Structures are given as structure tokens and as C-alpha cells.
Amino acid sequence: MSDQTQTDRARPEPIKAVPVRHPGRWLAIAVLAVLTAMFLHLILTNDQFRWSFIFNSYEPGKRGVMFTEPVLEGLRGTLLLTVTSMAIGVVFGVVIAIMRLSDNWILRGVAFVYTWFFRAVPRLVLAVLFGNLNILWDRIGFGLPFDQQIGKLFGIDDLNAQFYSVKASDLLAGFVAGMLALGLSEAAYMAEIVRAGIQSIDPGQAEAATALGLSRSQVLRRVVLPQAMRVIVPPTGNEVIAMVKDTSLVAFVPVTFELFFQLNAIKARTFVVLPVLVAAVIWYLIICTVLMVAQYFVERHFGRGYGTAGQARQRLRNIQAEQGSSSTAGGVT
Amino acid sequence: MTVEMVRADNVHKSFGSLEVLKGVDLVVNAGEVCCVLGPSGSGKSTFLRCVNHLEKINAGKIFVDGDLVGYHERGGKLHEMKGKDVARQRRSIGMVFQRFNLFPHMTSLQNVMEAPCRVKKESKAEVRERAASLLERVGLGSKIDAYPGMLSGGQQQRVAIARALAMRPKLMLFDEPTSALDPELVGEVLDVMKDLARDGMTMVVVTHEIGFAREVGDQVVFMDGGVVVEKGSPAEILANPKHERTQAFLSKVL
Ligand SMILES: Nc1ncnc2c1ncn2[C@@H]1O[C@H](COP(=O)(O)OP(=O)(O)OP(=O)(O)O)[C@@H](O)[C@H]1O
Ligand SMILES: [Mg+2]
């Protein structure tokens, strides 16, 4: 019935209406345009920026401050520190999250205390603290714990049951101290992120997997974590970017093998302040831009995707999901 | 000789101070279909979950195919089973849930292959073939590469049945398998279950589908308030229930 009436009637003229004016919007755009012009004018014409100091040569016979050897070395240090401390953070974070969700109250308690401590203490304080922890020990080794005390119990003076040890001030200083301070602190945040991810998964998933005879670790690795990744990845991207910037805190350990420390050293030596800071800003902008692009792709992968599936099938699913309901694919991430 | 596939002796289960099962006795013989009816909150799901030890019982005993569920009995004392041994017991018990619980990040085929590959470590090629033929059997041969999100509820539940069958269970537990489905999708799932029953699978089915119980059930059990109030053949229970609570329940459902 209704089909017929529709075909019978002529299609009305497309609507041609005068759009609503938005004078406020135009005003805002105008203000922003002026501000942008002022900013560009400032950085292009003000010679205090000393762009050639930054890009070309900061001293006769040397490259610009951004590309000089110690700064590039520092950049490598910053990236290495980011990667290693994030790796520590993710691995420990997953372990602590699992402890936090354990049936055993001791494991839960330990995980809670860990998270409590490392979230409460500022990273700057942790960095300085870890740089000075080595005064607690002479040597740090791996072997039987409490070996000296146990030796005394049996009447042996100075029992040494450490099969490998190094001088504490060699091991727990500089880079390693900075890496541990950042990594252990990161683990506390990652633990919360992973816990939220795991808890967001319907318990029916774990139940179905358990009923099939999967072991506890298989349930976690095969069923729960792959789904939890969709919730875990976006905040983890934030954490990585925050970590890049927080690596500059290890200058207080002190670690010299770090971007901002190296730039600061040049600043102190040449008494040129602003251009060195601008160089630092540019490097951090570049690193974070690269990471944000990477995060976009990783998020897209997990947000729509379903880890173990073949790429082609995944794409097919994505297309069909998008056609079916446009909210599911994009809405999740 | 008949083999007792499930035997529950005086099973008690409490959640905190709430006693949900207050002494359930039940025997299901091999090859039998046992339909469990009862009002909401009577402990039907809880009992089913106890049979494959998803819940620990507080008193009583449950045997599946002659083996005590969840415990070793040595010298008159019960020892809790290790997780690995419980998992081994669960392999031979398939379970189908009201809300399907398919793994959304895996295709139908992967859902069905997961347990045989990971738990039994069977060869992938062989499992793939078996999984595909199981999906064929439940009428989803064309959907092996579809993700659960792309399937209708009835299709998802049929994949879930295939997933449970892939472990070659000797017992299947169904917890209201059609309650979350639109009316027109109920039939396709019940058809798969009838087919299974005809093939001699031992099944315990919690359901509100009286028609299914009448047609397929060898035994109908009515539970209320954490106990089995009445059990018998479908004809006895559904046509002339003796207990007034059964009568009251059936008068509402029929
Ligand atoms: N994990 C749990 N913790 C606490 N109480 C629970 C838990 N699971 C079930 N219960 C309680 O046990 C009682 C029986 O629940 P059960 O799910 O077995 O009922 P049911 O017969 O399956 O009902 P329905 O037909 O609604 O599914 C209910 O009162 C419920 O609240
Ligand atoms: Mg129930």
C-alpha cells in the first residue's frame, strides 16, 4: 500500500534554505587567525630564537644544537630508557594486576601495597632515591638470601653463597637506577590499567573457557587478555608518551645519557638558553608525534580487531561491522 | 546394564549465609535426556554449575561417569583436586550457556577449534576438519569464518553447541539454552538438541520449553527452593503432577 502511494506522488523539490549564521564562530576564527599570525611572526622574525644555532651550527665547525653528537647520544638514551622502563612497567604491571585479582589475600595485599607506594611517591623523588639507594649495600648479588645470617647459625663466619655479585655503586647507579625508578613506578600505573581491562571482560567468557577445560593461564592468555587489550591499549599509549617526557627526570639520578641533560649541558656551557630549550621542545614534539601515529594504528588494530584472526578476514569483518552499525567500529576506541 | 552418567547425592551449596541447594538427589543414566524445570531462583543453574565444578559444593557428592567431581577420595578422606585434574574432568563435560559466551575475538571455526587444540593438543588439521563438520552438523557450514558479532542469537548458540561437542564430551549440560533467543530462533537450537538426543548423548537440560521436555525428555525433574520436589517421566510430571508446587508452576508455564 504505502509503496504505491510513494511512487504515485512526485518527489518534492530539494530544500534550499538560508543556513543559520554563526557570527560568534567567525569572530573566534578571526581572533585565532590573528594570534596565529602573531605567533608565526614572532618565531620567524625574532632573532633571539637563533634558528641557525638550533639547526645549522651552534659553534664554529659543529652541527646545530639539535643534531650535535652528544644530543643525538642523549636522544638515543631517552628512547632506550623509554623502551626499557615501559617494558618493565608492562611486565610487572600485568603480574601485579593478576596478583590484585587473585583469590589469595596475601597476594592481593602485596599488590595493593606496591601500587599504593609507587603511585604515592613522585617520580622525581623516586629517581633521586634510586640514585642513592646503593649506599645501603656494598655488593648486590644473586644467590642464597640471608647467607651470612644462615652461616652464623651454623658457626661459619662470612659464608658467601652468592654465585654472582657486583659492586652496588656500579650496578645501582645512573642508567639502571633511572630505569628501575621509572619502570617500577610505571608498573603501578600499568597494573591499574590492566586490572581495569581484565575486569571489563564479561565473567561468562572465563567461565565458558574454564568449562571447556582450559587451564587458568590459558583462560587468561587465550580468552581474557586478547579481549582486554581493546581497553588496555589506549591508556597504555598515553603512558608511553608520558614516559618519554618523564625520562628527563633521570637527570636527577643523575643520568647523563639523556636528551634533556645533554641539551642542558650545552646551555650551561654556551649561556644560550632559549634556543636550546626550543631544540628540546622540537625533539619531544617529534618523538611524541611518531608515537601518536603508532598508537593510532595499534588502537585501530585492537579496537576493531580481534588479535588472532587473519588480516583479510579481519578487514572483511570491519567492513561488514561498519556497514551493519556504524557505531560499533569507531565507537569502541 | 545401565551406566549412571550423573549421580548427585544430597548436594548442598551455600553462597555465604544463603543456602541455595538443600540436598539435591538426582541420577541421570547414560544416553538419557534429563530436563530440569523450576521457578527462578530455585537453584537450577547453580546445580548445573556444580556438576562440572564451576562451583564448589559444601556437602554431598557428585559423580560423573562414576568419578567423584572435584575431589580425590583416599583412605576415606577427601582431597581437593588440583586445577589440572579438575580441568581434565571438565573436558568430558560440555556446557552451553544462556548467553552463549562465544569468544568474540575468534571466528566460529576458531571458537570450536580452541579447546581441542589447546587442551587436548590434537593436530590442527584434524581438529579443523572435525570442527568444520560439527559446524556443518549444526547447520552453519557457511559461517565458519564469521565472527560471533556477525551471527544471530540462534546461530551463536548453535556455534556454542558445536564448540562444546568438539571436545567429544560424554555429558552435555544446557543452562536455559533458548531463553535469550527471539521466539522464531528457538526452534533451530532445539532442533540441534533433539538431533543430539537422538544420537544418544546424555544431556541435562535446564529449560522452560515444556514441549521440548515432553518430546525429548526421558526424565523430568522439578526443582523448587533448592530441592528436587518431584521427578519422573514427562508423562507423569507434565500431565499429572502430584506435588502442589509442581502443579502451581506448570499451570503458569503451560
Ligand atoms: N555467585 C553467587 N553468589 C551469590 N548468590 C548466588 C550466586 N549465584 C546464584 N546465587 C543465588 O542463588 C539462587 C539460585 O540461583 P540460580 O541461578 O541457581 O537460580 P535458577 O534456578 O537458575 O534461576 P533462573 O531460572 O532465574 O536462572 C538465587 O537466589 C541467586 O541469587
Ligand atoms: Mg539460571
Q: What is the ipTM of this complex?
A: 0.93
Q: State the average pLDDT over residues B224-245.
A: 92
Amino acid A307: pLDDT: 40
pTM for this model (two decimals): 0.81
Q: Alpha-carbon distance B83 to B93, whole Å?
A: 16
Supply the DSSP symbol for B73: E
Q: Which of B48, B52, B82, B103 to mutate to test the interface with A (most CBs of A within 10 A)?
A: B103
Q: Find out whether B108 and B101 touch, Cβ atoms under 8 Å.
A: no
pLDDT at A323 over 80: no
Going by pLDDT thresholds of 50, 70 and 90, the confidence category of residue A252 is: confident
Q: Which residue has the higher pLDDT, B97 or A332?
A: B97
Going by pLDDT thresholds of 50, 70 and 90, the confidence category of residue A63 is: confident
Q: State the average pLDDT over residues B207-232.
A: 94
A189-235 confidence digits (pLDDT tens): 999 999 999 999 999 999 999 999 999 999 999 999 989 988 898 89
Q: Which residue has the higher pLDDT, A63 or B35?
A: B35
Non-local (6+) Cβ contacts of A102 within 8 A are A108, A111
Amino acid B1: pLDDT: 67
A257-286 confidence digits (pLDDT tens): 888 888 989 889 888 889 999 999 999 999
pLDDT at B59 over 50: yes
Mean of the per-residue pLDDT values of chain B: 93
Going by pLDDT thresholds of 50, 70 and 90, the confidence category of residue A64 is: confident
Give whole-number Cα distances, B166 to B86, B130, B163, in Å. Answer: 19, 7, 5
Chain B residue closest in CA terms to A212: B91
Per-residue three-class SS string for chain A: CHHHHHHHCCCCCCCCCCCCCCHHHHHHHHHHHHHHHHHHHHHHHCHHHCHHHHHCCCCCCCCCCCCCHHHHHHHHHHHHHHHHHHHHHHHHHHHHHHHHCCCCHHHHHHHHHHHHHHHHCCHHHHHHHHHHHHHHCCEEEEECCCHHHHHHHCCCCCCCCEEEEEEHHHHCCHHHHHHHHHHHHHHHHHHHHHHHHHHCCCHHHHHHHHHCCCCHHHHHHHHHHHHHHHHHHHHHHHHHHHHHHHHHHHHHCCCCCCHHHHHHHHHHHHCCCHHHHHHHHHHHHHHHHHHHHHHHHHHHHHHHCCCCCCHHHHHHHHHHHHHHCHHHHHHHC
Going by pLDDT thresholds of 50, 70 and 90, the confidence category of residue A179 is: very high
Q: Which residue has the higher pLDDT, A24 or B76?
A: A24
CA of B87 relative to ligand 2 center, distance in Å: 23
pLDDT at A329 over 50: no
Atom 13, ligand 1: residue with shortest CA distance? B41
What cell does A94 get? 600485568
Amino acid A136: pLDDT: 80
pLDDT at B176 over 90: yes
Q: Alpha-carbon distance A220 to A210, whole Å?
A: 10
Amino acid A320: pLDDT: 56
Interface contact flag, A208 B102, Cβ < 8 Å: yes
CB atoms under 10 Å from CB of A255, counted, come to 26
B122-163 confidence digits (pLDDT tens): 899 999 999 999 999 999 999 999 989 889 999 999 999 999
Amino acid A313: pLDDT: 52
Going by pLDDT thresholds of 50, 70 and 90, the confidence category of residue A319 is: low
Distance from the B206 Cα atom to the nearest Cα atom in chain A, whole angstroms:
17
Q: Is B46 in the pocket of ligand 1 (CB under 6 A)?
A: yes
Q: State the average pLDDT over residues B33-48.
A: 95
Amino acid A166: pLDDT: 74
**3-class secondary structure, B162:** helix
* Among A78-92, A153-167, A262-276, the least confident range: A153-167
Going by pLDDT thresholds of 50, 70 and 90, the confidence category of residue A1 is: very low
Ligand 1 atom, smallest distance to B176 CA: 27
Q: Which of A104, A212, A215, A315 to mutate to test the interface with B (most CBs of B within 10 A)?
A: A212
Atom 24, ligand 1: residue with shortest CA distance? B40
pLDDT at A306 over 70: no
Interface contact flag, B54 A215, Cβ < 8 Å: no
